[in-house]
Chains A and B, each alone.
Chain A
Amino acid sequence: MLSQVRSIYRKRRNLKWMYIEERRNPHPLAWRKRIRAWRMGFLSGSYLYLDLDHHDPSDYINDRMRFLRLSALNGPYAEILHNKLLFGEVFRRHPDVVPETYALVRQKRVWPMSDVERVSSVDGILDLLSRKGKLVIKKTRGFGGSDCTILEDRGGDVAFSGRVVSRDEARERLGSRRELIVSEYVQQASYAREIYPASANSVRMLTMVDDETEEPFLARAVHRFGGGGKMVDNVSQGGVAAIIGPDDDRLGIGVQIDEAGHPRNIECHPDTGARITGVQIPHWQQVVDRVLELAREHPYMPYIGWDVIVTEDGLRILEGNSNSGVLFTQFHGPLLADPRVRRFFERRGIIPSAS
């Protein structure tokens, strides 16, 4: 009994996220189906988006696994991925791929974190903003794109993810009691800007370790694009997810969630009309090689969902996720259909072994 309470307490954060995610689902689903989804381990949103009325759920990674078990894959080191400051600290020895963290805001104080730009006050952040044009602020904890705000300099005033406020209000919002990090804004490559310019369109690259060769491999790469006028590339908020490859460096069919919550295949972006399917990702092979190299250099985290921005001359990693891999990464097919992925999860007790 006590160990059960302890186990629930330990997973409280993940259970909370799961609950929030379930409540966030804006699409109605009949109670009968909702209960069916829960029994299968899916949240109602995932059930709809993955169209499980028509697909066999057995090859899909479900939400129960995602929220309650996937973090265990990285053991205590999952914390490196959960905490964005810690992620930056551990990965800052790869300066070519991690955006610069300029400052940490904590208890209404600003601490400089960078050797390049020394920012030690809220005014320092605003000065840096006027020089750089754009900055990103993120909560150190949290998940999903909702914790990320883009700061923009608009001729003296400041825009918080598009909403313009006065400098005084900006000062007040930046001097937060919550823990925030201020980091560099990464300019994405032109192909991604052409498809949807308002958001930072990232690629979720899921890496795992192949138990046979003990080498990391790329299980799936899915490019996300924003949509619906939003500044985030969140698929549940009008965005589009398009698979890359796996055999070439071109974008495949895009998937968008329609108003009823059902997936819809598209070839062009619904807002901008720009073509998605067939678009070539610049220097994709180098991007894959570099991400696999990073996975190799941090072997104590065998399961990472990297959020990668492809830039004109390389890549930047926005963050890593420890319990990634349910929704949009499976729009184009279940992950467990790949025997390497199935083996990875089986050996670690996430799914029961077939044999």
Chain B
Amino acid sequence: MVLDFGQPKLYFYAMRMATRARDLYRKRQYVKWLIHDERSNRRPIPRAERLRAWKLGFLSQTYRMCQIERYGPKDYVTDRMRYLRTPFLNGAYALVLDDKLIFNEVFRRHSALLPEAYALLRRKSVVPLNEDRVGSLEDVLGLLEKKGRLVIKPTTGGGGGHIAVLERRDGGVAWNGEVSPPARILERMKGHRERLVMEFVQQAQYAHEINSGSANTIRVLCLWDDEADAPFVARAVHRFGSPATGPVDNITQGGLDALVDLDTGRLGPGARMTPDGRPEFHEHHPDSGARIEGVVVPHWKETLSGLLEVAAQYPYLPYVGWDVLVTEDGFRLLEGNNMSGLWMFQVHGPLLADPRVRRFFEKRKVVR
């Protein structure tokens, strides 16, 4: 046998090494998040169980919430897939979803779909984004005076963190319910992060009754069906906040998540995380006592078809977790997520049991 160490082969190996290094570098952020999310799970989970979870590709939190120990890992999309493969499904266009300003710029052509973005808060300046011409922090307070409520949202980063609801109150302005004098609010708005000043959208009565303190959104997982050449909804869950979550509906912080029947819009029981990280299903919201199971989301059919109609116009975004807020007369799109959390869907059953979903992930080599 003759070994060929000629130049083309060497070049080939060098290129392959470079590609691997680049690949790792590209994934570094997601690996960091993966480790961060595992470390931030402070629930009392034995090390042996954590190891079992990691071995199967799950974070300990997902492992417990989806009850993998009980049902087995079959048909579940693992966290390894989620963190290391799904972020690349939208390619370069992930930026459209990752950056809320670009998201707003791209989707604002659909009238009355997005909440209005008034201004961009940058370190030293306030950049007006619409005809209200909000150009200074004082203008933001002036606008708040007029509108009553505003939302301040970072342009990057997910999980509902750092979102603030500003509210006009007697004797000052409330920042996430905490009343402060305007000077203090101005100080808080001057943070380092780039943030958007947006319209506060009033949710429909049914959602307000279940938990009035948060914007209770529906996360709709939309995938692209290559055979039909159109998007389809893989699963939708309605999330509800609780007094512990503040203005957002984050489940890890004490919120609930109920499966939405795609045909009827009927909600299933709400899953809530117990202190030891296992799911607990509730027919009623444990804090407000309002019924969740059996509630039908108003104008669900129109919402779903409207959302699919929008998604169909963006074939370069084949994988999006949309955050939809149902209002009295329709729905608003709060944001799209490039790397949507999946355990909120899978707590109600594995995603890959649906052949269309499996085909989508297999074709894109997320599931191998």
Q: A residues touching B (Cβ–Cβ < 8 Å)?
A: 9, 76-77, 79-80, 83, 85-86, 89-90, 92-93, 104, 106, 111-113, 120, 141, 214, 298-300
Contacts and interface: CB of A to CB of B under 8 A. Distances in A.
A290 B95 CA distance: 28
A111 B318 CA distance: 12
A85 B106 CA distance: 11
Given A76-B99, A299-B128, A300-B120, A104 B315 contact: yes
A298 B127 CA distance: 9
B13 interface: no
Given A9-B25, A86-B93, A93 B109 contact: yes
A106 B316 contact: yes
B104 to A, nearest CB: 10
A132 to B, nearest CB: 22
Interface in B108-167: 108-109, 120, 125, 127-129, 135
A90 B105 contact: yes
A90 B106 contact: yes
Given A77-B101, A104-B316, A214-B135, A92 B128 contact: no
A288 to B, nearest CB: 21
B102 interface: yes
A90 B92 contact: no
Contacts of B92: 79, 83, 141
Given A85-B316, A104-B315, A300 B108 contact: no
B89 interface: no
B106 A300 contact: no
Interface of B: 25, 92-93, 95-96, 99, 101-102, 105-106, 108-109, 120, 125, 127-129, 135, 229, 313, 315-316
Contact of B96 (A9, A86, A92, A214): A86
27 contacts: A9-B25, A76-B95, A76-B102, A77-B99, A77-B101, A77-B102, A79-B95, A79-B102, A80-B102, A80-B105, A85-B93, A85-B316, A86-B93, A86-B106, A89-B96, A90-B106, A93-B108, A104-B316, A106-B315, A111-B316, A112-B315, A113-B315, A120-B229, A214-B125, A214-B135, A298-B105, A300-B120
Given A106-B316, A214-B135, A300-B127, A89 B106 contact: yes
Contacts of B315: 104, 106, 111-113
Contacts of B25: 9
Give chain A's interface secondary structure class.
mixed
Contacts of A300: 101, 120, 127
A233 to B, nearest CB: 27
A226 to B, nearest CB: 31
Residue among A85, A93, A300 with the most chain B CB within 10 A? A300
Given A79-B92, A93-B109, 15 more contacts: A76-B95, A76-B99, A77-B99, A79-B95, A86-B96, A86-B102, A104-B316, A106-B315, A111-B315, A111-B316, A214-B125, A214-B135, A299-B128, A300-B101, A300-B127
A111 B312 CA distance: 10
A300 B127 CA distance: 7
Contacts of A214: 125, 135
Nearest to B130: A297
Contacts of B316: 85, 104, 106, 111
A182 to B, nearest CB: 14
Contacts of A77: 99, 101-102
Contacts of B313: 113
A303 to B, nearest CB: 14
Contacts of B102: 76-77, 79-80, 86, 90
A275 to B, nearest CB: 42
A329 B64 CA distance: 62
Contacts of A120: 229
B310 to A, nearest CB: 12
Nearest to A75: B194
Contacts of B108: 93
B99 to A, nearest CB: 6
A104 B314 CA distance: 10
Nearest to B128: A299
B121 to A, nearest CB: 11
Contacts of A85: 93, 316
B111 to A, nearest CB: 10
Contacts of B95: 76, 79, 86
A85 B316 CA distance: 10
Nearest to A120: B229
Given A76-B95, A86-B93, A300-B120, A92 B101 contact: no
Contacts of A92: 109
A112 B120 CA distance: 32
A41 B95 CA distance: 32
Nearest to B107: A89
Contacts of B109: 92-93
Contacts of A106: 315-316
A106 B128 CA distance: 35
A118 to B, nearest CB: 11
Contacts of B127: 299-300
6 closest cross-chain pairs (CB), A and B: A111-B315, A93-B109, A299-B127, A90-B105, A89-B106, A79-B95
A162 B170 CA distance: 71
B62 to A, nearest CB: 30
A83 B94 CA distance: 13
Nearest to A140: B92
A120 B92 CA distance: 22
Contacts of A86: 93, 95-96, 102, 106
A92 B313 CA distance: 13
Residue with the greatest number of chain A CB neighbours at <10 A, chosen from B128, B313, B315: B315
